[in-house]
Amino acid sequence: MAILEILEYPDGFLNKPVLPVTDINGDLQQKIDDMSQTMYHAPGVGLAACQVGINQCVLVYDVSPRDDKRELHVLINPRIVCQEGEVLSENEGCLSVPDYRSDVVRFSQIQVEAVDRDGKPLCFDAEGYLAIVLQHEIDHLQGILFIDRISVLKRNLYKKRVKKRLRQS
């Protein structure tokens, strides 16, 4: 297993949709292991393949409390098939958008379809924090960052800050 480099905004790879997985092979299993290790190392509660430069529709997540046993989940080709309600995701952040947090409006309940790493079809409902994490990660796979879901004014302030930082480095 390897810890992969996490791409950061404004890397162009982060705003392009990834390709669907068509073959769950050994190469993909290796990538999933690397993604998991990278997520735990960061540490983060979720990681989408495009965040580590992998152009495949895969995400990993683990929202279990920190001291508990790890509960790794892998979703291949996930999609939200039902969504309802509204919740304010407070202080949302992202490993690919360092040093920035913002409130984001999310759906409060979603239904997700995907397959697991063994190719078994999954369909489940999620609400609360898990629903927020899954919306965030599935957004990544479509080339959407949480800063794309905040006001233009806030987003421009953040972009200015990044530009300034990049000029100074």
Interacting residue ranges for Ni ion, rule: CB under 5 A: 94
Residue 70 Cβ vs Ni ion, minimum distance, rounded to whole Å: 19
Amino acid at 167: R
Residue 96 Cβ vs Ni ion, minimum distance, rounded to whole Å: 5
Query: Which residue lies nearer to Ni ion by CB, 94 or 114?
Result: 94
Residue 118 Cβ vs Ni ion, minimum distance, rounded to whole Å: 25
| Residues assigned a catalytic role | 137
CA distances in angstroms from 161 to 17, 64, 155, 169, listed in the order given: 25, 33, 10, 13
Write the DSSP symbol of residue 49.
G
Instruction: Give residues with Cβ within 8 angstroms of 147, minimum separation 6.
Output: 9, 97, 100, 102, 154, 155, 158
Query: Which residue lies nearer to Ni ion by CB, 24 or 100?
Result: 100
Residue number closest to Ni ion, CB atom:
94
Query: Which residue lies nearer to Ni ion by CB, 7 or 21?
Result: 7
